[in-house]
Amino acid sequence: MIPLRGLYIFSSRILYPMMYYVVRYRRGIVAKNLRQSFPEKTEAERRAIEKKFYRSFADVIVEIVHGYRASASEMRERVVFENEELMIRLLSEHGAVIGMLAHMGNWEWFADFNQHLLPYGMLQANIYRRLKNDRMDELMNTIRGRRGGMLIEKQQVLRQMLTLRKEGTPVVYGFICDQKPRPQVTRCWTTFLHQETGFLDGSEVLAKKFGYPVLYVYITRPARGHYAARFELITENPKEEPENAITLRYAQLLEENIKEQPELWLWTHNRWKWGRKV
């Protein structure tokens, strides 16, 4: 029930110092990731990004708490979709769209796009990986589904997509695609932030199977507590794209997005733990 401005005081004065200076939550991983991703920057510049990231990360935590009770009108002000007409057109013409996202900014708040689709009789479906802790999984599902969007567990994606296509429901499927894939099954590799990096290609595989257009959701934060999402068209005809072209374009757009506001990406993730399997 605490207003967001009060939660931000907690974020700045308690949560950020606790994570950064006391617990030192994954600071070694963050420092390594930044050093390898931005070798052209000085140590001082990378340290500045590191501190900005932890401040942003602390904000995201309290924003998720606040979002549980935030009204639809408040969320419309805090999360702006700059060109939603593109998404509406593609959904109307193709019946479904695949949106490729990343852990940029407050990724949990972007489930709120469903309220923009409801007036058109359309639906947002967010693909998620079940958490190991059952109570946390139940809590996050409650938060994510609060705006009426659909949640699809990763293992059930294909079955649900077939069902929704049969029902004729226009759906935008949201996939967070910047996780670390296992090297044994990774089929798409590229140089990303100066490092050889494997990418999940499940979104591309499904786009080609169903013929659904693919968009990248480009995230920025113009002010504290406010985010902007811009839909960037990757392809309207995925079946005509060469192998890996969709995933590689996603990686390129994500890198541009990160470089614009590097503090918004989730640097605590041990993204480069594994290399290519020889």
DSSP 117-133: HGGGT-EEEEEEPPPSS
- What is the chain's alpha carbon radius of gyration, rounded to the nearest angstrom? 19
Q: What pLDDT score was predicted for residue 148? A: 61
What separation in angstroms does the CA of 2 have from each of 8, 57, 184? 10, 19, 46
Please enumerate in sequence order all residues whose Cβ is within 8 A of that of 266, keeping only pairs 6 or more positions apart, or say none: 57, 103, 104
Q: What pLDDT score was predicted for residue 154? A: 86
Angstrom distance (rounded) from CA 43 to CA 41: 7
Q: 71, 33 in Cβ contact below 8 A?
A: no
Output the six-digit token pair for 124: 């947002």
Q: What pLDDT score was predicted for residue 275? A: 75
Tell which residue, 104, 25, 103, 106, has the closest CA to residue 65: 106
Give the tens place of pLDDT for each residue, 23-72: 999 999 999 999 999 999 999 999 999 999 999 999 999 998 898 888 88
DSSP code of 104? B
Give the tens place of pLDDT for each residue, 130-178: 777 878 777 767 766 666 678 888 889 999 999 999 999 899 999 999 9
Angle at 35 between CA 52 and CA 227, to 5 degrees: 30
Q: 276, 183 in Cβ contact below 8 A?
A: yes
Q: What pLDDT score was predicted for residue 115? A: 78
Domain segments of the chain as ranges:
4-67, 79-264
Give the tens place of pLDDT for each residue, 172-229: 999 999 998 888 888 999 999 999 999 999 999 999 999 999 999 999 999 999 999 9
Output the six-digit token pair for 39: 């070798």
Q: 158, 206 in Cβ contact below 8 A?
A: yes
Q: 115, 76 in Cβ contact below 8 A?
A: yes
Supply φ then ψ for residue 82, to 5 degrees.
-75, -30
Output the six-digit token pair for 122: 């359309």
